[in-house]
Chain A
Amino acid sequence: MRLNELTIAQAARGLKRKELSSVELTQTVFEQIKKRDLKVKAFLSLDEKGALSSAKEIDEKRAHEDILGGLAGIPVAIKDNILVRGLKCSAASKILENYVAPYDATVISKLKEAGAVIIGKTNMDEFAMGSSTENSAFFATKNPYDLQRVPGGSSGGSAAAVAANETIYALGSDTGGSIRQPASFCGVVGLKPTYGAVSRFGLMAMASSLDQIGPITKTVGDCQTVFDAINGKDKLDSTSVDLKKEIRNTKFEIKNLRIGMPKEYFAQGLDEHVDKLVKEAIKKLENLGARVKEINLPYSEYALACYYIIMPSEVSANLARYDGIKYGYSEFDKAGDLMEVYLGSRHHGFGAEPRRRIMLGTYTLSAGYYDAYYLKAQKVRTLIEQDFEKAFKEVDVIMTPVSPTPAFKFGEKIDDPLKMYLSDIYTVSINLAGVPALSMPCGRVGGLPVGLQIVGPQMGEPLIFGTALALEQNS
């Protein structure tokens, strides 16, 4: 096995026993990137010099003191909407093409504190808007399992980099499925944490009431390791919260586990092979002693419509900051007056999808339409949240597919926004309810990975990890 193929746990063990050095590990990762990324195109930018120098630093530290954490000296790739001080951060948008992050996101400060080696920034759909990376202003990332197919999105670069062994793990962000769907398409593990569990400070805001940063890893155990390192209340994000201790310390036992299968998620539109694989995974847990029960989430069918009001509304407010004045692409020199600076910079700086969503949100928030759209959607959001609350009185976790189909081909959905939006049909409700969910591989169809989604109640990450570990160990 080559070093770049290691999991976090394996690499940490090797580093601790001094069987390998962080410099060797980092070098091997960059060798793989040079070889493989010409085809996969997972990265927007690399920081080989910076990475090797932090790797060296960690190796030296390790030579002197033994007590280094489980992430020390291990390479990580970061989605390009998360700020890493001194590195370009473009969110795959022309409007931020040459933007250099002036400070670290809180998750980055935490990873650096833990000794992580940041190797580069990964491709994504522009401002995290999309499900295929085809909306990147620069290029699309390819699925390592089939280069004719999309890696999913928006964190497609992060998921593809992990799957192609171009990094040991990665960070992504998830507003409506942007960690879980690419993780499922690329056959890796991805977690969308409880809303507020991970600080959003330094994450470029898309839809603030839905956005969360989370890990993309090769195994469930690795996912837990990264989540443990990045979660927690942060003074710089007033929506962040601490995981409750009593939940964190609950002992997990598979025979006590009650699994809910929502009828609405195994209905028309779901690929029959995906359906079969997801049900087989659930069956495995049942055979291990878990109890499985059919449940109802009656407002599921409204989740996507609700999401496509709330998300664009928040997008339109958040993306108002890209004005051609403070940073990024600007037509200041061309424009006659202030209005022309705005109109020109935003017209030519943003791609079609951000503009579509900004306009949609501007419309749904505008005078006379606010009540009919935004307020209405917020009320439906309450009903969707209550669906989950009720369900979690009867079951501990909920299991569903991540996406209706495995990875689709380039060009298949890009000309029809609504068709593209439907690939998030099983994931957006999770963000609306603010609950955590993990995507893990549960088999393949025609060589393409399929993902199982494990949903927990708010702060229920330990339950999700317990369940996912049990399944992984028995696969």
Chain B
Amino acid sequence: MIDVKHIAKLARFGLTEKEEEKFKKELSAILDFVAKLNEIDTKNIEPTAQVTGTINVFGNDETNLICEDKQIKEDILKNAPAKEGRYFKVKRVLE
């Protein structure tokens, strides 16, 4: 049985008791549905991560235009919920 409380913690959500019940029911139904894949033998099948066939696309070691645009930097910071000067403000991480 799926431990919704644990999963919610891993996913960094708060969860009320009522929500826990609801999600438990819904997620179990979906997991039952996707279990259908077990009908297929995939022993010698390679997994597909993406379909274009491109492998390790490397770029030159240079900043793109967006990183160089001062206005964009400012606009990015404008969206920050908490900031100080040119920095994002975060709660203390180390005690």
**Residues of chain A at the chain B interface (Cβ within 8 Å):** 99-100, 102-103, 195-196, 209, 235-236, 238-239, 241, 299, 301-302, 304-306, 308-309, 316, 320, 323-330, 332-333, 335-344, 346-348, 350, 355-356, 358-360, 362-363, 366, 373, 375-383, 385, 417-418, 433-434, 458
**Structural contact, B50 and A382, CB atoms closer than 8 A:** no
CB distance from A374 to the nearest CB of B (A): 9
| A342 and B12 form a contact (CB under 8 A) | yes
Set of chain A residues within 8 Å of B52, measured between Cβ atoms: 195-196, 239, 241, 434
Residues on A with C-beta less than 8 A from B61 are none
Within 8 A of A (CB), among B22-64: 23, 26-27, 29-31, 33-40, 42, 45-52, 54, 57, 59, 64
Q: How far is the CA of A325 from the CA of B36 in the complex (A)?
A: 39
B75 at the interface (CB under 8 A from A): yes
Excluding A350-B13, A378-B48, 9 further A-B contacts by CB distance (< 8 Å) are: A103-B75, A302-B37, A306-B37, A325-B82, A356-B23, A359-B8, A363-B7, A376-B38, A380-B40
Q: Chain A residues near B93 (CB, 8 Å)?
A: 338
Interface pair B78/A239, CB less than 8 Å apart: no
B33 touches A308 (CB 8 A): yes
Kindly report which residue of chain A lies nearest to residue B35, judged by CB atoms.
A305
B91 at the interface (CB under 8 A from A): yes
Would A355 and B91 count as touching, CB distance under 8 A?
A: no
Given A338-B90, A382-B45, check contact A195 B50 (CB 8 Å): yes
With a cutoff of 8 Å between Cβ atoms, the chain B residues found around residue A377 in the complex are 34, 37
Let me know if B37 and A418 touch, CB within 8 A.
no
A103, A308, A342, A433: the one within 8 Å of B30 (CB): A308
Q: Which of B59, B76, B81 contacts A324 (CB 8 A)?
A: B81
Q: Does B85 interact with chain A (Cβ within 8 Å)?
A: no
A159–B44 Cα gap in the complex (Å)?
Answer: 42
Known: A309-B34, A382-B45. A209 touches B50 (CB 8 A): yes
A320 surroundings in chain B (CB, below 8 A): 12
Residues of A within 8 A of B91 (CB): 332, 335-338, 340-341
The CA-CA distance from A382 to B47 in the complex, in Å, is 6
Given contacts A332-B82, A332-B91, A359-B27, contact A343 B47 (CB under 8 A): no
Q: How far is the CB of B51 from chain A (nearest CB, A)?
A: 3
Q: Once the chains bind, are B2 and A343 in contact (CB under 8 Å)? A: no
* Structural contact, A100 and B79, CB atoms closer than 8 A: yes
Q: Which residues of the partner chain B approach A382 to less than 8 Å between Cβ atoms? A: 45-48
A316 closest partner in B (C-beta): B11
Asked whether any CB of chain A lies closer than 8 Å to the CB of B92, the reply is yes
- Residue contact B45 to A379, C-beta cutoff 8 Å: yes
Contact of A330 among B37, B50, B82 (CB under 8 A): B82
A209 CA to B47 CA in the complex, in Å?
13
Among the listed A103, A236, A302, A326, which residue makes an inter-chain contact with B88, where contact means beta carbons less than 8 Å apart?
A: A326
Contacts A238-B59, A382-B47, A385-B48 given; does A325 touch B90 at CB 8 Å: yes
Q: Write out the residue numbers on chain B whose beta carbons fall within 8 Å of the beta carbon of A323.
A: 12
| Minimum CB distance partner of B81 in chain A | A330
Question: Given contacts A103-B72, A327-B80, A360-B27, are A378 and B7 in contact (CB under 8 A)?
Answer: no
Residues of chain B within 8 A of A373, CB atoms compared: 34
Contacts of B42 in A (CB 8 A): 376, 379-380, 383
The closest CB in chain B to the CB of A383 belongs to B45
Inter-subunit contact A326/B14 (CB<8 Å): no
A327 touches B45 (CB 8 A): no
Which of A301, A326, A366 is in CB contact (< 8 Å) with B80? A326
